A and B are shown apart, each in its own frame.
Chain A
């Protein structure tokens, strides 16, 4: 019996020789247990070594292999070929990001935005190690655990039309991570983050399309995090009007 195959239409952009991207069709063996990343690795090993894409863990943890698969942002390591059989499967770089080469996008903008919300535990004053760890109850952990599952895969940015149309938007993952640290009982950095998080380019730019939460492979629900930060931002605004002398 002839081996079953499936066609991949892969976005190619070679900036050293091309002005515009093209699509290249490849036929790969169809295996039920293969994901799109397996097919791309097969192509790179057997057919076309120049094909470029990012990947690392192959188990949905590292967040490196995000791509548009048939128009939807997916981790290519968890997008099974059988979901798309008999194909063809169109593989493109993550939407809304500049393309560096083939399926590789530039992530500088995301990294800068992530850093701008200080996604780490901020303390007014670090307590000495001799005083022990910062203790936390299971209930306190539960308030933010969901948001700490973010793997920075950027699928949410690729799904967000607001980020596509308004590239200054701080975006879903960065705001969700700001929310994660704001909710953390050990953190004291909310007042430092609010200048960015409550700005027009952050929570107020979001129109709650909700697709970021739909495509999130870790069920982080960044759309929910943004709406919750909006409520905190509105409260902060009311407080600043009613009590302008209040703590800043």
Chain B
């Protein structure tokens, strides 16, 4: 007798919120990739001198580019937060018989993120 194999819908990821959030997390990497590509192009213009860079920047002073950067920022923040939050499952530190609480794994990552952001802001804005 033949076992029955149930088909999987291409929309399987819409059937459960956790699956949808997972697919969104995976999709964030597309925006991060696009932003990094943009950043590399920006750097290559910067290497060609101030005038070239300012011309490149002014050409991109439009609502569309602003929207792209906002979406890329939201994607990067979502990716970062979800990455930090699951990290205690991957990083296990033991003190004798006990596991170090998850907050001790997640906390330093947020602290490093904050310190790096403050350092970059200080360099850019001073």
Contacts and interface: CB of A to CB of B under 8 A. Distances in A.
Contact of B6 (A95, A141, A213): A95
A101 B86 CA distance: 38
Given A224-B92, A228-B92, A211 B18 contact: yes
Interface in B79-122: 86, 89-90, 92, 94, 96-98
B38 interface: no
Interface stretch (B7-15, B53-61, B64-72): B7-15
Interface residues of B, number: 23
B89 A99 contact: no
Interface stretch (A1-9, A13-21, A149-157): A13-21
Contacts of B22: 161, 207, 209-211
A53 interface: no
A161 B12 contact: yes
Nearest to B8: A164
A98 B6 CA distance: 7
Contacts, number: 70
Contacts of A165: 8, 12
Contacts of A161: 12-13, 19, 22
Interface string B1-40: 1111110100011011011001000100000000000000
A100 interface: yes
Residue among B2, B3, B13, B86 having the largest count of chain A Cβ atoms under 10 Å: B3
Contact of A15 (B1, B15, B97): B1
A231 interface: yes
B16 to A, nearest CB: 7
B26 A98 contact: no
Interface in A65-92: 71
Contacts of B96: 139, 142
B86 A208 contact: yes
A106 B2 CA distance: 11
Contact of B26 (A16, A99, A207, A230): A207
B90 A227 contact: yes
A46 B1 CA distance: 27
Contact of B3 (A100, A213, A230): A100
Given A13-B4, A71-B16, 13 more contacts: A15-B1, A15-B3, A16-B1, A99-B4, A100-B3, A138-B97, A142-B98, A161-B12, A161-B13, A164-B8, A207-B22, A211-B18, A224-B92
8 contacts: A15-B1, A15-B4, A21-B4, A98-B4, A139-B97, A142-B98, A209-B22, A210-B89
Interface of B: 1-6, 8, 12-13, 15-16, 18-19, 22, 26, 86, 89-90, 92, 94, 96-98
Interface of A: 13, 15-16, 20-21, 71, 95, 98-101, 106, 138-139, 141-143, 161, 164-165, 207-211, 213-214, 221, 223-224, 227-228, 230-231
